[in-house]
Amino acid sequence: MFEIIIVGSVDARRTEAEIADGSGNTVAIVYEDLNGWHTEFIDPQINQSSPSFSALIAKAREKLSHYVNRRGGNVPSELRTRGALSLWLMAKDDGTMRGK
């Protein structure tokens, strides 16, 4: 059983979907930058080619697609704190931050 956790990664300056296993350990990170979509596999034991894990990655991308600043480009100059940048990364296309 896996879960998708959306986070605003201030250090990487992007919004990421962390895929965690049933123990809460991150096994993969999905994100988009100016070069397209990427998946970083943290746990080498994960079957990257399994149809169910591929579907999970597709679901993570779909969730991330609603975060308007997910690529982290053109950060406003007035965002001077880590907290402000994190909130900016978590802005969604429906005008909310991380959810309703």
Residue 96 lies in a domain: no
Residue 50 lies in a domain: yes
Residue 95 lies in a domain: no
Domain count, the chain: 1
Rounded distance, CA 100 to CA 82, Å? 22
Residue 98 lies in a domain: no
Q: Give, in order, the Cα–Cα distances in Å from 36 to each of 33, 71, 81.
A: 5, 9, 27
Q: Quick: pLDDT tens for 78-98.
A: 999 999 999 999 999 998 886
Q: Quick: pLDDT tens for 32-80.
A: 999 999 999 999 888 877 899 999 999 999 999 999 999 999 999 999 9
pTM: 0.91
The domain containing residue 34 runs over which residues? 3-89
Residue 58 lies in a domain: yes
Average pLDDT, the chain: 93
Residue 100 lies in a domain: no
Residue 97 lies in a domain: no
